[in-house]
Amino acid sequence: MLMQNARTLSATHPAKPLDRWAPEPHGIDISALDTLGVRMSYARNAEIFGEGEPTHYVFKVVAGAARTYKVLDDGRRQISAFYLPGEVFGLEATDTHHCSAESVGRSIFLVIKRTALLSLARTDHQTTHLMWRLTAHELERVQTHMLVLIRSAQERVACFLLEMAERMGTGDVVELPMSRQDIADYLGLTIETISRTLTQLEGNGAIAVPTCRRIVLCDRAALKRLHA
């Protein structure tokens, strides 16, 4: 449930159109959602919703980042996706979440009542189509990610860095919001392998790692070529 995390979050002002600056990363105009929600602040690693819980709210990242994940019986965690500013998560066609979600760092999310969205969709065909497209875009992203999971460690890390650079839109400098453990659980590797691979890539001159959360893509062509 949303409110049981009340101690880890605090409501801010009702949504002002301040987040209009945020990119629309899907190529889908989701600004229609902005007036429906309330901004809330989440602490680092705060639970946003849990797998199997009812889908009362839909979220849009204003600042920071979120991760959705599933946990295996043996405790391993697979991160399905990261969500960066401007992106929507927690939208389900059914009435329960099928992933858990947490805030990666300290983050601000626009929180939208699902009922508000659905009642809008009942009259507005555009909104219905929007929800469908968002889900379809999500599907496409996961399918692409499956391709990454069958590759070598070097390829996975290279793909990850290129994906993040692409989505953050900050050119060749990537400021990672997530830990090595998060990256490992996203790519299906261990933190040691992530670390070793980054060191290798740095040795190749493909990247530079000034601090452990900041990565500079020095040679994108080399990263794309990394199919070995």
Dmax over CA atoms of the chain, in Å, equals 57
Cβ closer to DNA: 135 or 190?
A: 190
Cβ closer to its own copies: 49 or 215?
A: 49
11 binds its own copies (CB under 8 A): no
Selected range binding DNA among 31-39, 52-60, 78-86, 176-184, rule: CB under 7 A: 176-184
> Which listed residue (113, 133, 196, 220) binds DNA by CB under 7 A?
196
> Which listed residue (179, 204, 208, 220) binds DNA by CB under 7 A?
179
For its own copies (CB under 8 A), the number of binding residues is: 36
Cβ closer to its own copies: 142 or 212?
A: 142
150 binds its own copies (CB under 8 A): yes
188 binds DNA (CB under 7 A): yes
Cβ closer to its own copies: 19 or 138?
A: 138
Q: How far is the CB of 175 from its own copies (least distance, A)?
A: 26
DSSP the chain: --GGGGGGEEEEEEPPGGGGGS--TTSS--GGGGGGEEEEEE-TT-EEE-TTSB--EEEEEEES-EEEEEE-TTS-EEEEEEE-TT-EE---SSSB-SSEEEESSSEEEEEEEHHHHHHHHHH-HHHHHHHHHHHHHHHHHHHHHHHHHTS-HHHHHHHHHHHHHHHHT-TTEEE--S-HHHHHHHHTS-HHHHHHHHHHHHHHTSEEEEETTEEEES-HHHHHH---
Q: How far is the CB of 78 from DNA (least distance, A)?
A: 12
192 binds DNA (CB under 7 A): yes
> Which listed residue (138, 157, 177, 217) binds its own copies by CB under 8 A?
138
24 binds DNA (CB under 7 A): no
> Which listed residue (60, 67, 145, 180) binds its own copies by CB under 8 A?
145
Interatomic CA distance for residues 45 and 43, integer angstroms: 6
Task: Give the sign of the dihedral formed by CA 215, CA 159, CA 220, CA 106.
Answer: negative
Q: Provide the binding-site residues for its own copies, judged by CB under 8 A.
A: 70, 72-74, 76, 78, 80, 92-94, 98-99, 122, 125, 128-129, 131-133, 135-140, 142-147, 149-151, 188, 227
